[in-house]
Structure 1
Amino acid sequence: MSVRTQESALRIALVFPGQGAQHPRMAAGLYGHEAVFTAAMDEALELLGADGERIRSAWLARTTTADFDDVTVSQPLLYAVDHALGRMVLDWGVEPVALMGHSVGELVAATLAGVVGFADGIRLMRARIRQFAQTPAGGMLAVAAGLGEVEDLLTGQVHLAAVNARRQLLLAGEREPLDRAAQALRERGIVCRDARARQAFHSPVVDEAVEASMPDWLATPLNRPRRTVYSAYTQGVLTDDTALDHRFWARQAAETVHFAPTLDRLLADHDCLLVEAGPGNSLSTVARRHPAVVRGGSEVAPLLPDGAQDDVRDRRSVAAAKERILPLQQPVRA
């Protein structure tokens, strides 16, 4: 393997997962051991107010609670954990060349870029609990297929929620139509499984909740990004004008996530060490198959083990990732 010169060194890009990546005790092994992570989680739980203790209990439980995958737990908890992990990495002295997120992970990227204040982000998550919990019973379906293989199923009741890779999609809809779509896919020999979600995020099913969230968004100060954010909704670098558009942010919960083409753009622009700052390895698994990673131009380093509930493994995984990341923190010629 060749040794990279300073001029060709990888740059760090932080990527943040969203709905479906959550699991009990995600990153809990860092709590009380990593000072910045702990402080950020304590701040989040305090800002969650009356919801904080309930969410803390669900997070630290050894088994999945009945509502763990519901918006009332998963969304604020994912936002808090992703943000705390990102803060921890930044505290190591890392200055990423880019931030990128999937679903609620994009709001984390925006927060760390200074577009949205953290307290405002938590306030919006608390409002989301109220607004989205009453949407029709639904979910999301992970499908190992290309768009052409599922287009006939996108009939108005089932919707394209995310394009994660060339043959990795998420569909969303109310429960009965989504179950019918799953049956049709299995009859075709296409592998699919329910994603961990009780709401049909990234589909018109949540349109009313999105409109209900608009006053909260309009009351939120927005700023120009201080770090580069790649948006999976615009499929490129987030511009100042878009960052300052309240409706753009409010609509994300109902819009398709174009993760794959956005990752294409990021890795065309930069040779990166992609650091997945969130639970699980879902985005790392996708990124490892990307041609830029396969040919060795870019690399992947998840912070956490995949789905583990082992505190020691959490800490060992972060230590290993840190060993890969810190040597790259040297001046790189523009």
Structure 2
Amino acid sequence: MTNSVLAFVFPGQGSQQIGMLADAAQAFPEVSATFSEASSVLGYDLWDLCQNGAQEDINLTERTQPLLLTASVSLYRAWLAQGGVTPAYMAGHSLGEWSALVCSGVLDFADGVRLVRERGRLMQEAVPAGEGAMAAVIGLDDSAVEVACAESAEGEVVAAVNYNSPGQVVIAGSAAAVGRAIDACKAAGAKRAMPLPVSAPFHTELMRPAADKLAPQIEATVFNAPATPIIHNVHAKTESDPAAIKALMVEQIYSPVRWTACVQSMAGFGVQQLVECGPGKVLAGLAKRIDRSLVAQNIESSEQLSAAVTATAG
């Protein structure tokens, strides 16, 4: 489809795999160069980690976040180098919103790597391992999930935190409360409600200490107005003021990811084609469930990227 309005979306945690981008790195020098740049900031070889490390190593939040940021930015740089058109809009799922900030020029890449490493470390530290939990709920309306969480809290924290697509919501909070909410969602008619292999309850009030600690570091970093509008997780709207974007990135840590609304906003802005820029195809799959009129694809491999450049050429 040519001459259609294009948006880029960037994945969050869970899309990382050992061996990812190996093909793209052989085809596009931008990939290796971007990983080298990140490695010099981090003080370890990020490319070697994601090619030859162990899955449990790249699943450590402090490493996952800079890894996925670097992967997405490297593919976006390759996209532009191959003559890919600049998208009209961008959005990212949770950590992926930081990839959007870098690719839209809000944030320098090296600053982005530093901040998401800290973001990951602080988020993991905010709740001791084993005390928090997350779970996916399939086949239940958003409002029914919210009611189940409210009735299951019993003085603890449990809430809907990722509105991923109609009928797919992730909940998070204190481990015991999440357990009660899983049972409540099943009783309310959910097709499935299952714990996720994540130890920290992301995007809940339990993350507010992490946000408070990251806020001064965000404040001390230069943010620019975005060259490409970004639809933000917190409210599914665009924002042009750098100070307001800083505030949103702090708030995002303890607020729900309103992904369904973000994709619906893009469609409302006239987006017809959506490219997932990063490893995996989770967001491309969600987009089709949110709005079937969207043409969604991912560009993790060199073949996919080259084909998408051609398909989206004006």
Shorter-chain TM range is 0.7 to 0.9
Structure 2 residue ranges without an equivalent (≥5)? none
Offset of residue 56 of structure 1: 4.4
* Residue 47 of structure 1 pairs with residue 41 of structure 2: yes
1:241 maps to 241
2:286 maps to 286
Normalised by the size of structure 2, how large is the TM-score? Answer: 0.88
Q: SS state of the match for residue 231, structure 2?
A: strand
Task: Tell me how many residue pairs correspond in the alignment.
Answer: 303
* Residue 149 of structure 1 pairs with residue 144 of structure 2: yes
Q: SS state of the match for residue 134, structure 2?
A: strand
Instruction: Tell me if the contact between 2:7 and 2:271 (Cα under 8 Å) persists in the aligned partners.
Output: no
Segment of structure 1 superposing worse, 256-265 or 178-187 = 178-187
Q: Following the alignment from structure 1 to structure 2, what is the Cα–Cα distance between the partners of residues 255 and 47? A: 28
Offset of residue 323 of structure 1: 1.7
| The one of 97, 111, 120 aligned to 2:111 | 120
Offset of residue 101 of structure 1: 0.7
Q: Following the alignment from structure 1 to structure 2, what is the Cα–Cα distance between the partners of residues 149 and 14? A: 31
Q: SS state of the match for residue 231, structure 1?
A: coil
The residue identity in structure 1 corresponding to 2:13 is Q
Q: Following the alignment from structure 1 to structure 2, what is the Cα–Cα distance between the partners of residues 80 and 219? A: 22
Segments of 4+ moved more than 6 angstroms: none
* Residue 34 of structure 1 pairs with residue 28 of structure 2: yes
Q: SS state of the match for residue 197, structure 1?
A: coil
Structure 1 residues 231-280: Cα deviation after superposition (integer angstroms, max 9, x where no partner): 2222122x222664422212211111111111111112224321111121
Matches within 5 A, 1:288-307: 288-293=288-293, 298-304=294-300
Q: Following the alignment from structure 1 to structure 2, what is the Cα–Cα distance between the partners of residues 176 and 56? A: 38
Structure 1 residues 18-62: Cα deviation after superposition (integer angstroms, max 9, x where no partner): 12222222223323432111111111122112xx23x54542237
Q: Following the alignment from structure 1 to structure 2, what is the Cα–Cα distance between the partners of residues 328 and 29? A: 22
Q: Following the alignment from structure 1 to structure 2, what is the Cα–Cα distance between the partners of residues 218 and 62? A: 34
Instruction: Tell me if the contact between 1:225 and 1:243 (Cα under 8 Å) persists in the aligned partners.
Output: no
1:310 maps to none
Matches within 5 A, 1:260-275: 260-275=260-275
* Residue 215 of structure 1 pairs with residue 212 of structure 2: no
Instruction: Tell me if the contact between 1:160 and 1:171 (Cα under 8 Å) persists in the aligned partners.
Output: yes
Q: SS state of the match for residue 144, structure 2?
A: helix
Q: Following the alignment from structure 1 to structure 2, what is the Cα–Cα distance between the partners of residues 243 and 140? A: 31
Residue 262 to residue 129, structure 1, CA distance change in 2 (3 Å): closer
Instruction: Tell me if the contact between 2:136 and 2:171 (Cα under 8 Å) persists in the aligned partners.
Output: yes
Q: Following the alignment from structure 2 to structure 1, what is the Cα–Cα distance between the partners of residues 182 and 161? A: 15
* Residue 15 of structure 1 pairs with residue 9 of structure 2: yes
The residue identity in structure 2 corresponding to 1:79 is L
Q: Following the alignment from structure 1 to structure 2, what is the Cα–Cα distance between the partners of residues 230 and 243? A: 16
1:328 maps to 312
1:311 maps to none
The residue identity in structure 1 corresponding to 2:24 is L
Residue 230 to residue 120, structure 1, CA distance change in 2 (3 Å): same
Offset of residue 85 of structure 1: 1.6
Offset of residue 68 of structure 1: 3.4
Q: Following the alignment from structure 1 to structure 2, what is the Cα–Cα distance between the partners of residues 191 and 122? A: 36
User: Aligned-pair RMSD on alpha carbons?
Assistant: 2.2
Residue 58 to residue 143, structure 1, CA distance change in 2 (3 Å): farther
Structure 1 residues 122-148: Cα deviation after superposition (integer angstroms, max 9, x where no partner): 111232244223121323222112212
2:192 maps to 191
Structure 1 residue ranges without an equivalent (≥5)? 305-314
Matches within 5 A, 1:102-181: 102-136=93-127, 137=129, 138-144=132-138, 145-155=140-150, 156=153, 157-181=157-181
Residue 81 to residue 96, structure 1, CA distance change in 2 (3 Å): same
- The percentage of aligned residue pairs carrying the same residue is 26
Q: Following the alignment from structure 2 to structure 1, what is the Cα–Cα distance between the partners of residues 68 and 136? A: 19
Instruction: Tell me if the contact between 1:58 and 1:64 (Cα under 8 Å) persists in the aligned partners.
Output: no
2:229 maps to 228
